[in-house]
Each structure stands twice: as structure tokens, then as C-alpha cells.
A and B are shown apart, each in its own frame.
Chain A
Amino acid sequence: MTSEQVWAALAGIADPEIPAISLVELGVVAEVAVDGDAVRVELTPTFLGCPAVELMRRRVEERVRELGGEPTVTVSTRRPWTSARISAAGRRKLRESGFAPPGAPTCPYCGSTDTRRENLFGPTACRSIRYCRRCRQPYEAFKSV
């Protein structure tokens, strides 16, 4: 087994809270190391209080076992997650599913920048609520951290 195969397999795991984007696109997979059948995966959580981390860990373990590997999945902040870790494809998929990617005040529905922040906090730790004055659509924005 190669680390490329593991990365490709992990790219198929959807984020539990925003299924439009994968764990790899979200940037939570910090490192993959393969030694024979032993596969070490390090995850870096988007937010420390994110309750989805345990679910992510279990899904990564399942996926590695499906490949025939023996997983050791750790969660570490030694390389702290920042919103810059979201890939270009990930940002596009967020927009397509109605989330403004981090740092962009642009309405994901109509593209207007005439938007305002409604609430710093949203339904999960990683999201804020914004409102588009042009198309009058409330939407969620990924926080910049």
C-alpha cells in the first residue's frame, strides 16, 4: 500500500457536517504515513470543540481497513488547522452548496457583495450567519481562523 492510495481513499470521505466537501478538501487530514500494512493518519481539527472529530476518526479508520491497512488515527494540533487549508476545489464546493468560503463576504446564491453579518455564530462551531441584501437570502459562511 502506498500513501497515495490512502490519500485517494480518504478523499472519498465526506465531512460529517457539510457532506458536499471531503475531509481532504477541508484540510483536516494533516499527514499520512504508510509502513507495510500499518497506516498512520494525523487529523487536525477545524475547531477544538468540534463534535464531528470522533466521527471523522472512525470513518478514516474504516476506510483504511477497507484498503487492507491497520489504521492508527491521531488528532493533533501541532499543525493547527486554519481556513487556508481548505483547497480550491473545497471552496468551490462550499459555494455550490450555499456556504460562503472563509474570507469571502460574497453571497453564494447571487454573487453580490452587498451582504452583512447576522450572527458571529451559527449551527456549528465553524460557521457564521450572513444575509444578502440583494437577493434577501440568509446564508452560512465558513469562519476564517
Chain B
Amino acid sequence: MSERERLLEIADDELVLGWRDSEWTGIAPTLEEDVAFSSIAQNEIGHACAIYELLGEDPDALAFDRDPAEYRSAPLVELRLLDWAHAIARRVLYEEADRVRIRALLGSEDPAVAALATKIDREETYHRAHARLWADRLGDEPRFRRALAELAPYLDGDRRARTPDFAELRDEMTSVRRTAPGARW
């Protein structure tokens, strides 16, 4: 796989997971987790944006205008998870896999890629610490263990196919883009 393809996978994962994590804003079990999931989501979407820019593309066009078949997100991040144990299990699984691939980019021959990976890696330290805290807290809790076992296969699923949950998410992600062309924050 080329470095460009790898970067697109990472950016798409961060974009989609950022949207999914933001679904907990306001309804997480505690106020602290409202804040944590909102902040993590904001960071992940920021990472996606920075990678899309690094690829030399308009970030909004890449994020919102592609055909679903052109996204390269992992099935894990596309799933709509309504249960807290699953939401945490996804964060735990994702952060470990993300750590490995971001670390691999630190040694990129492209200095711009290495610099961005360095930046992302430092920010992700907080996401990993958050995932670890929850993994320790839930420990052997059966609901959590079951969620981990259930979700693990989705991490390595086919990135060229979209899950059934993706269509609804994409509608939501692109609604502003579609209804107010040219709108900026």
C-alpha cells in the first residue's frame, strides 16, 4: 500500500469516528464523558482535515463530496453504537491500532508526513490515556468483554465496502454541504 493510500485510510477513519464519537455529546453517562467524547471528536476531525490538506486536496471536498465507494474507513468506525460498553470498546480497539500505524509514519521519508505524524501522535496521547482509563475501569466486566470480542473483527474488515450504517451517517455529515453550498463556520 502506498503512503498516500495509508494516509487516506487514517484520515477517513478519524473523520468518521469523529462524527460517531460526537453522537455522545450531551448524552454520555457523565458530564466528564460528554466533554471527553466531544473533545476527542474535535481532535479526530482536526486530524482528518490536516491529513486531507497534506494530500493536497480540499478537505471539505474529500470529506463530503466523494462517492461512498471511495471512502476507505474501517467498518469499526462506521458502526452506529448506542451502548456505552460498545462505544468504549471501540475507542480501546481503535486507539491501539491507530497508535501502531501513526508510530510507523514517524519515520516517513516525507518530512511533511513525519512532522504531521509527530503532531498527531502527541495529541493522541490523551485519547490513548482516556481509552486505558476506561479499559482498566471496566476490566473484566462481562458487557465490556463481550463488546470487545464482538467489535474486534470489524477493525480489519473490508475498507472498500461500506457498512449498512454508513449511508445514514453520510447523509448527516453532508447535510450542511448539500443544503447550504459554500457555507463556512
Contacts and interface: CB of A to CB of B under 8 A. Distances in A.
Determine if chain A interacts with chain B.
Answer: yes
A18 interface: no
Contacts, number: 71
A26 to B, nearest CB: 16
Interface string B121-143: 01101100110010000000000
Contact of B115 (A77, A124, A143, A145): A77
Given A80-B122, A119-B32, A120-B36, A49 B46 contact: yes
Contact of B47 (A48, A51, A129): A48
Main secondary structure of the interface of B (DSSP, over half): helix
Contact of A120 (B45, B49, B126): B126
B8 interface: no
| Size category of the binding interface on chain B | 20 to 34
Contacts of B49: 48-49
Interface in A38-87: 47-51, 54, 77-82
Contacts of A118: 32
Main secondary structure of the interface of A (DSSP, over half): loop
A77 B42 CA distance: 17
Interface string B81-125: 000000000000000000000000000000110011011101101
A121 B43 CA distance: 11
Interface of B: 32, 35-36, 38-40, 42-47, 49-50, 111-112, 115-116, 118-120, 122-123, 125-126, 129-130, 133, 185
- Sort A-B residue pairs by CB-CB distance and give the 8 closest, nearest first: A49-B46, A48-B46, A80-B119, A121-B39, A145-B122, A49-B42, A121-B36, A119-B32
A9 interface: no
Contacts of A125: 39, 42-43, 46, 123
B119 A81 contact: yes
Interface of A: 47-51, 54, 77-82, 118-125, 128-129, 143, 145
